[in-house]
Each structure stands twice: as C-alpha cells, then as structure tokens.
Structure 1
Amino acid sequence: RDDAVRAVVITAEDSKAFCAGADILAWSELNAAEFSRHWVRDGHRIFDRLARLSKPTIAAIGAHAFGGGLEFAATADIRVMAPKATLALPEAAVGIVPGWSGTQRLIRLLGEPLVKEMALFGRRLSAERALAAGFVAEISEDPTASAFAIAEEVSTKSPRSVEVAKYMIHAAADEDRGAMIEALGAGMIVPSEDKTEGVAAFREKRKPNFSGK
C-alpha cells in the first residue's frame, strides 16, 4: 500500500538456490489435518497475496528453483533466469505432491505437458526450455541486475495504468477473477456523481436524486 513502491524484485540471498522449496523436516511430522488445513492452505494464502499484489513483480532466478521455490517464482509477473538454473517439482521423490499451486497456477503458466514432465517424471526444466515456454522473459548472467533494470523501466510508466492493466489481465487469466472484476467496477463507480449523491442522501436521510453521471 506504499505508493512510493513502484515495483518489487524477488531474489535470493544465497547463490546456491533461488529457493530449494519447503523444509522437509518442518512438515514431515505434521498429521494429515495439520498438513492439509494449515501447511498447504497457509502457503496458498501467502503465495496468492504475492501473485495478486497490485505492484508489478519481477523474480530474479539466479539458481535452482525447486518445489515451493518454483511455486514462489510463479507468483511474479515476469521472471529472469540464470543460464545454469533449473526448475523442478521433486515432491514425488519424497512421497508428497505439489501443494502451493504447482498443479494449479503453474498449469496456466507452463502448460499441462511441462508440469506433468516435472511433477510425474521428476525431470528438471532448463532455462532454455523455460524461455521457450514463455515462463521466463529472458536468460541473464546476472538475473538480479536484469530484474532491477526491468523494475526501473516499469517505474517510468503510469503506476495506475500498470495496476489496472494487471487487474484486467488477471481477470482474463482467472487469477482471482471475481475480486479483479469487482475492483475494476468499484474504480468506475466511486468517482461518479451518483455515488456522491447516494452517500449524501443516506447521510441526510432523504430520497436520492440520481442523474446517471
């Protein structure tokens, strides 16, 4: 909600991985209810907030993004990837399934065949294939620098135009479609004279005189 923030870059502190995914030791002792009702759903709530952020977001994937790390990268609006970085959904190797939108949001972004290749067969996706699939915008030797360059460029655009365009695209892509459509509708109605008259009439306890403007 800070209007001074014009773009968000998601990157990693460690050069070994963008994100290696969820901590196996953290979830391995959870019972079924804790795992499904809390671990999975809490992860979705966090990732959904990132995906639906009104600011433009750029993920700088400087190293491997596995499991939850790949699902995390998928929340960004645009991704830049290092040449030797790879993407994977290795959950089946430890007896679980993707739980933070790997079989949902990633289907829209990568398509069913590639998600099956990773989730069912455990194959890693190279930067070149991710680029060809449109999942990453570019391959860069320095993804963080490239991501900040993209952030600086988008910061020269109208922030309101960028925000509304993102809402429109998300509505078309079924990313929280209901909220996006209602947000756009609210933005159209709030500046209207009818809204001003309706509120004034409510406060003054009288019948409103709407003009349709």
Structure 2
Amino acid sequence: MVKDTGGTQARTERRDAAANRQRILDAALRLFEQNSVEQVSMNQIAIEAQIGSGTLYRRYRNKSELCLDLIKDNVVLLFEDIEAYLEAHQTDPPSQRLKGILSLFIRFREKKLQLLTGVEEVSSPSGPQFKTQSPVHNELHGIIVKLLNEMSAGEQPLPDSVFRADMLLMALRSDSYVFQRDVRGYSPELFLEQLCLTFVPEQ
C-alpha cells in the first residue's frame, strides 16, 4: 500500500509558513527599533529576515499589513475596551461617550505610536495617490459616525456626520498627533480637550 504523504507535506508547509512569519515579524521589530517605521522598506525587512521578497509579499502586500499583524492583539483589546466602555456608559450623553473612546484611542496611540503609524500607511493597488484606509480607521470611523448621529436624534441630523468623522480621524493621525504634541506642545489631555472643542458638539 502506498502511504498518503499529503497530510505530512501540508503540515510541513504550515510549519514553514509559521516559521517564515515569525522571522519576518522578528526582523521587522528589530529594524523598527533601530529606525522609524517610515524609514524601513519591505526589501530591508526581507533581507533582515533572510527570505526572498516574493515570500514576504505573498504574506504581506504592504508594510501596513505587516504592522497590523504586529499589533493585532493590541488592536483587538483596544476595541474590546471601547465596546466595554460604551456598554458601561450607555446612559451617558453621546458626546461624553465619544470623548471617552477618543481618550482610549489617544492612550493607545501613545503606547503604539510607531506601529500604528505603519498601519496608517495604506495605498491601494492603483498607486500611492489612491489611498485606502486601515481596518483600525474603518472600525473607529463607524463608531464615531454612530455617536455623532445619535447626538442629533429627534432633530435634524448633524451636518454630514461621515465628513465630520473623517476630519476628526485626520486630526488623530500619527503625523497630526505628533505635530501637536511635539511642536505645539499639547499634552495628550490638552490634545483631547481641543479635539472635543473642535469636533464634538456641546449637549
């Protein structure tokens, strides 16, 4: 009887893929610690991991996907914290709930600034001039739009909640946040206060 080696081969391939993934992530972390995320290229990561660039790109289409894999567990915890906060404060005014989740996100940004910067660097296949948004952005955007719409429940909707959420998240991007913190001198607390004064209607 001929033995079926298909299962063994598949397990070997899975082990190889898992090993390559870990080598990529370890190499990326080493390079990110030595340089800023923006200064590290995918080719540098492939060389550091001692794998072919094709192997790297088969797993990660871009640096954003790689950075997201590095912090995915933290991102899951962030949105679990946001969900728990909203559940615990569901009787609070929506403006207060929005301020609360913005505070959670700013604290998260402070802890994971470098990798979150990398996650934000997303381009569509059409080229860098056609930007798409990261999964973190998209999920947070949906939560913000819902709260902005809730603020005007029973009244006329706020002027384009989608646009307002877009502008709010632009202010929360790494480049904007770091500029306000390091150049303008705003602490995370003052940044949050100014953000709410600008984007969150008083109730």
TM-score calculated relative to the size of structure 1:
0.26
TM-score calculated relative to the size of structure 2:
0.27
Give 1 or 2: higher strand fraction.
1
Give 1 or 2: higher helix fraction.
2
